[in-house]
């Protein structure tokens, strides 16, 4: 029996490719999915499986909005990994609001499996303690939208009041608390919180790692509940069978957990942790390199995660494909430029919300610079030989390019929670994996090509408007 079969609100559909050429979505309470080609599934590596919530080789039914659409059901991927647990489950995820995962963890806790959860402090309050929608008006616009969407999701009968039954069924943190699952956030070190506890990983039985770019939220998996056009921010999740890798993630978790809730105040977050150098791990057919952030500014930049990113990019010999939520680390751009100068083609996609801000390295690659909102020039270094294969993907309304990956030579993947920014490198709790495996790289390459097809590149209309606004505000 499915773990959630008793809940009338949680249902899963198929999560596999069905082998036909065109797919027309089933009508739902919102709308039908557009017609898209259904691709043949790619083979998965036995030890490293890659999943994407907008994968065109898979079809599933969003369990909450009942929208049948293309994609891997990332919530189901996590639930399946939880279902296999026999001894322990450690979770460190910035945001956690998916009730399907919470119910699965509660079931394992009841079965005697040790479950522990770390969440970022901004998202660690159950909805019952966050007040009514009227209280959300005090939040910034982004937080207000997120809170309102979550409230509407939990409020099944739409009466504007969250009943105890609705909270027990749909509020993930309430589900965890009522199951007596111990959890803490990044204020457990005695601070007001680290820069961001930005991890998105789970370790099962000290052997399996589930990690990637996706937070455990509707917006990062299925799509915003109140936006029928949303299909979820473009994200990936990896499921990796490797005890040595799991041990490394478990060490990171243990630093944050310390003695746990009610124990000694020995949790370590952010720069309170010791510096961790990169570590090599092998699985059959693969070599993986793992490193965690943050790195103190007092240490050489080359020893940091962004330093590892730059070093690995410099090893490319055939192609560099980047799909990034934000790219603002000048030093990475500076070390990527010689790769382009060697004639190696570079294609870059950045989320539309960040691609053309003054600090975006996408502008450097295009040979451009823009003043910031105060009309000041930053230390950006435009490429003297700019490229035009830089831009933004076409996304469903309301969704973001939330990936943080690179594919090099169709053989190497860089991925994890770390955005390519200074803050991620020197402040946040983050992780980066470098995976050398052509089978895994093929999945990320297909995702890149899906996003690149139809992307707006070079001097786009959005960029022209950004330039015009700055010229009008700051003068030529």
pLDDT in tens, 106-147: 999 999 999 999 999 999 999 999 988 888 888 888 889 999
- Cα-based distances in Å from 451 to 14, 201, 350, 444: 24, 25, 10, 11
Q: What pLDDT was estimated at residue 12?
A: 40
Distance CA 155, CA 414 (A): 39
Checking 277-281 for CB contacts under 8 A at 24+ apart, the result is: 277/303, 278/308, 279/248, 281/242, 281/244, 281/245, 281/248
Coil, strand or helix at 207: coil
Contact criterion met (CB below 8 Å) for 382 and 214: no
Percent with pLDDT over 90 in the chain = 84
Q: Which two tokens stand for residue 284?
A: 């059959």
Segment 60-85 mean pLDDT: 97
For the chain, the domains span: 22-253, 275-474
Distance CA 27, CA 242 (A): 41
List of residues 6+ apart from 342 with CB closer than 8 A: none
Q: What pLDDT was estimated at residue 242?
A: 98
Q: Which two tokens stand for residue 324?
A: 């990034």
Residue 13, pLDDT above cutoff 90: no
Rounded (10°) CA dihedral 368, 373, 379, 385: 0
**pLDDT classification of 29: cutoffs 50, 70, 90:** very low
Residue 201, pLDDT above cutoff 80: yes
Residue 14, pLDDT above cutoff 50: no
Distance CA 377, CA 380 (A): 8
Coil, strand or helix at 297: coil
Distance CA 250, CA 305 (A): 18
Q: Which two tokens stand for residue 266?
A: 């020995």
275-474 shares the fold of 22-253: yes
Q: Which two tokens stand for residue 135?
A: 């209280």
Segment 435-463 mean pLDDT: 97
Low-confidence winner among 47-51, 251-255, 378-382 (lowest mean pLDDT): 378-382
Query: Which of 57, 105, 58 shows the shortest CA–CA distance to 78?
Result: 105
Segment 184-192 mean pLDDT: 94
Q: What pLDDT was estimated at residue 138?
A: 85
Q: What pLDDT was estimated at residue 302?
A: 98
Contact criterion met (CB below 8 Å) for 77 and 104: no
Q: Which residue has the tokens 């890659």?
A: 50
Architecture (CATH level 2) of domain 22-253:
2-Layer Sandwich (3.30)
Residue 392, pLDDT above cutoff 60: yes
Distance CA 329, CA 25 (A): 40
Q: What pLDDT was estimated at residue 476?
A: 63
Contact criterion met (CB below 8 Å) for 87 and 203: no
**pLDDT classification of 4: cutoffs 50, 70, 90:** very low
* The CATH number of domain 275-474, selected from 3.20.20.220, 3.30.870.10, 3.40.50.300, 3.30.300.30: 3.30.870.10
DSSP state, 270? G
Distance CA 417, CA 324 (A): 11
DSSP state, 120? -
Percent with pLDDT over 70 in the chain = 92
Radius of gyration over alpha carbons of the chain, in Å? 22
pTM over 0.85: yes
Adjacent-strand bridge partners of 323: 349, 405
Q: What pLDDT was estimated at residue 431?
A: 98
Q: What pLDDT was estimated at residue 155?
A: 97
Q: What pLDDT was estimated at residue 26?
A: 33
Contact criterion met (CB below 8 Å) for 313 and 320: yes
Q: What pLDDT was estimated at residue 16?
A: 34
Q: Is 474 exposed, middle or buried (0-12, 13-18, 19+ CB in 10 A)?
A: middle
Q: What pLDDT was estimated at residue 2?
A: 32
Query: Quick one: angle between helices 305-313 and 330-341, nearest 10?
Result: 10
Segment 205-212 mean pLDDT: 98
Look at the chain and count its residues.
476
Q: What pLDDT was estimated at residue 282?
A: 96
Coil, strand or helix at 472: helix
Which tens digit of pLDDT belongs to each residue from 277-317?
Answer: 999 999 999 999 999 999 999 999 999 999 999 999 999 99
Residue 202, pLDDT above cutoff 70: yes
């Amino acid at each position: 029996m499915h773990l959630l079969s008793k809940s009338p609100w949680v249902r899963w559909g198929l999560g596999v490719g069905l082998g036909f050429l065109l797919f027309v979505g089933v009508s739902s309470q919102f709308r039908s999915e557009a017609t898209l080609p259904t691709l043949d599934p790619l083979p998965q590596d036995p030890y490293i499986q890659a999943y994407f919530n907008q994968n065109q080789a898979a079809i599933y039914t969003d369990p909450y909005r009942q929208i049948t659409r293309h994609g891997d059901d990332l919530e189901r991927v996590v639930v399946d990994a939880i279902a296999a647990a026999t001894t322990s489950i450690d979770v460190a995820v910035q945001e956690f609001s998916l009730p399907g995962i919470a119910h699965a963890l509660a079931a394992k806790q009841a079965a005697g499996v040790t479950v522990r959860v770390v969440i970022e402090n901004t998202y660690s309050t159950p909805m019952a303690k966050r007040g009514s929608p009227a209280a959300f008006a005090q939040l910034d616009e982004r937080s207000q939208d997120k809170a309102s969407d979550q409230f509407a999701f939990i409020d099944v009968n739409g009466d504007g009041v969250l009943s105890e039954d609705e909270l027990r069924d749909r509020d993930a943190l309430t589900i965890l608390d009522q199951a007596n699952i111990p959890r803490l956030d990044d204020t457990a070190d005695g601070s007001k919180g680290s820069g961001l506890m930005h991890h998105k990983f789970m370790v099962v039985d000290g052997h399996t790692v589930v990690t990637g770019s996706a937070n455990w939220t509707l917006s990062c998996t299925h799509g915003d509940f109140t936006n029928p056009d949303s299909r979820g921010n473009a994200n990936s999740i990896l499921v990796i069978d490797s005890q040595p890798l799991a041990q490394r993630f478990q060490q990171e978790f243990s630093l944050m957990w310390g003695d746990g809730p009610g124990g000694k105040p020995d949790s370590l977050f952010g720069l309170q942790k010791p510096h961790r150098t990169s570590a090599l791990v092998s699985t059959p057919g693969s070599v993986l390199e793992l490193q965690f952030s943050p790195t103190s500014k007092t240490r050489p930049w080359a020893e940091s995660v962004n330093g590892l990113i730059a070093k690995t990019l410099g090893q490319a010999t055939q192609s560099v494909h980047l799909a990034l939520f934000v790219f603002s680390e000048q030093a990475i751009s500076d070390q990527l430029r010689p790769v382009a100068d060697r004639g190696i083609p570079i294609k870059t996609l950045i989320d539309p919300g960040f691609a053309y801000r003054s600090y975006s390295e996408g502008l450097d690659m295009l040979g451009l610079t823009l003043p910031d909102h105060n009309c000041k020039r930053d230390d950006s270094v435009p490429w003297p030989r700019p490229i035009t294969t830089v831009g933004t993907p076409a996304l469903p309304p309301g969704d973001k390019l939330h990936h943080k990956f690179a594919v090099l030579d169709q053989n190497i993947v860089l991925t994890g929670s770390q955005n390519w920014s200074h803050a991620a490198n020197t402040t946040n709790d983050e992780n980066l994996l470098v995976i050398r495996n052509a089978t895994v790289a093929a999945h990320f390459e297909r995702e890149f090509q899906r996003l690149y097809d139809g992307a707006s590149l070079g001097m786009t209309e959005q960029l022209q408007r950004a330039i015009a606004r700055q010229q009008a505000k700051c003068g030529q």
